[in-house]
Amino acid sequence: MQSSNRRALGSGDGSESPGDHRQGHGLAFDEAPADVRYDDPWYDALASGWGEAGAAGAPTAHLAAAEAPAARRAREDAAEAAAQVYLEVQRSEAFREVRGRYRRFVVPATVGFFLWYVAYVVAATAAPELMARPVAGAVNVALLAGLGQFLTTFLLTWAYSRHARLRRDRAALELRWDTQELTREARGGAS
């Protein structure tokens, strides 16, 4: 087998040493400069301007590396400003109203459905004679209660989507648009 640099490699039987794979690749791993770490975020910073010519025709990699901290600081400042916008929105009355409408529906619905489910399980285990009582032919109380579980799941899903559409979606959408506008302004108009 040949490597990309046209040098023959081992036969693939595993007899080559780890050092054989490093030949022809510049510095060996153990000879790499001590100040270069592979998890260093600036490791590839010098390569960012590679091939671009400056005024004198020299690569401008050192300029890109010098500009990177300023760009990072600007990005961090914009992110902090955006975070402040989200904190302001979270403290706003409109956000509290949307969250309150959500909780006023979800908490009672969840508690009610959970109690209905527990009642079904408890009745099935504690009162098997009640659950086995026939209603019509082979249909008994347990079968009707089990089908009622499915029915209430679908009804609860429908009620939740209706409640969201009628009571929360418009306010949440307006809040989202306002938040995006404030975030865009906080980041300096750039989106």
Model pLDDT for residues 130-155, shown as the tens digit of each residue: 999 999 988 999 999 999 999 999 99
In this prediction, residues 73-90 reach a mean pLDDT of 81
Q: What percent of the chain has pLDDT over 90?
A: 35
* pLDDT tens, residue by residue, 177-191: 888 888 888 777 654
Relative to beta strand 139-140, strand 134-136 is antiparallel
3-state secondary structure of 108: helix
Whether residue 145 contacts residue 131, with contact meaning beta carbons closer than 8 Å, is answered with yes
Count of Cβ atoms closer than 10 Å to residue 123 Cβ: 15
Radius of gyration of the chain (CA): 33
Return the bridge partners of 136, or none.
Answer: 139
pLDDT at 3 > cutoff 60: no
pTM for this prediction = 0.53
CA dist 152 and 119 (Å) reads: 14
3-state secondary structure 68-89: HHHHHHHHHHHHHHHHHHHHHH
